[in-house]
A and B are shown apart, each in its own frame.
Chain A
Amino acid sequence: KNQVEQSPQSLIILEGKNCTLQCNYTVSPFSNLRWYKQDTGRGPVSLTIMTFSENTKSNGRYTATLDADTKQSSLHITASQLSDSASYICVVRGGGATNKLIFGTGTLLAVQP
């Protein structure tokens, strides 16, 4: 069954600290993996996208990694800011006939001053 699991479900960190969010998937075949940021009351906004051959992708203080062999991805946030408080959603697109987007349930991050 094609699934995307994220951990932790929620996380509280102090402003300025770093954190890493995890995404494990069982989607096969695989096309690409995206990380989205969803602020409360808003729609998700794309942060990064990675294909099978990409291991890392950065977007400012956000760095995503992908290990297609172990089917794991991480999103690392450096020097967190209060505005980073949001839900972070991992989304995997299946390849071939399984051309579907499969969403993780997200990690809720709260950055405290």
Chain B
Amino acid sequence: GAGVSQSPSNKVTEKGKDVELRCDPISGHTALYWYRQSLGQGLEFLIYFQGNSAPDKSGLPSDRFSAERTGGSVSTLTIQRTQQEDSAVYLCASSSPGGGETQYFGPGTRLLVL
């Protein structure tokens, strides 16, 4: 694949519903990051996967947020019981060990919680 892909591109949901956001990193990239970008705010780190190591979950804002990375490739970010303040763009990025740590970002998923 050419780059990092994310789906869906847009998601509108009702407060209280669960949502799943998907990220397909660049093939061969061992590191995968999830970020949240709220309107007028900087990117907020959520979670980081590196190979088979335990993920760095230090950025997850609450226990409603969780993420998995299966087979070292595709990742899913799950938000349970969504709240209106969860509305944001969720960005995924991947990087390779020998790539100078450059992160390649996907186009993001725009989540709107009504």
Which residues of A does B touch, CB under 8 Å? 4, 32, 41-46, 49, 89, 91, 93, 100-101, 103-106
Give the interface of B toward A (CB within 8 A).
4, 35, 40-45, 91, 93, 100-108
Residue from B40, B45, B93, B100 in contact with A43 in the complex, judged by beta carbons closer than 8 Å: B93
Q: Is the CB of A106 within 8 A of B105?
A: no
Set of chain A residues within 8 Å of B91, measured between Cβ atoms: 43-44
Known: A100-B45, A103-B42, A105-B41. A43 touches B102 (CB 8 A): no
Chain B residues near A103 (CB, 8 Å)? 35, 42-45
Bound-state Cα–Cα, A89 to B40, Å: 12
**A104 → B minimal CB distance (Å):** 6
The listed residue (B42, B103, B106, B107) touching A106 by CB distance below 8 A is B42
- Given contacts A43-B91, A43-B108, A89 and B42 within 8 Å (CB-CB): yes
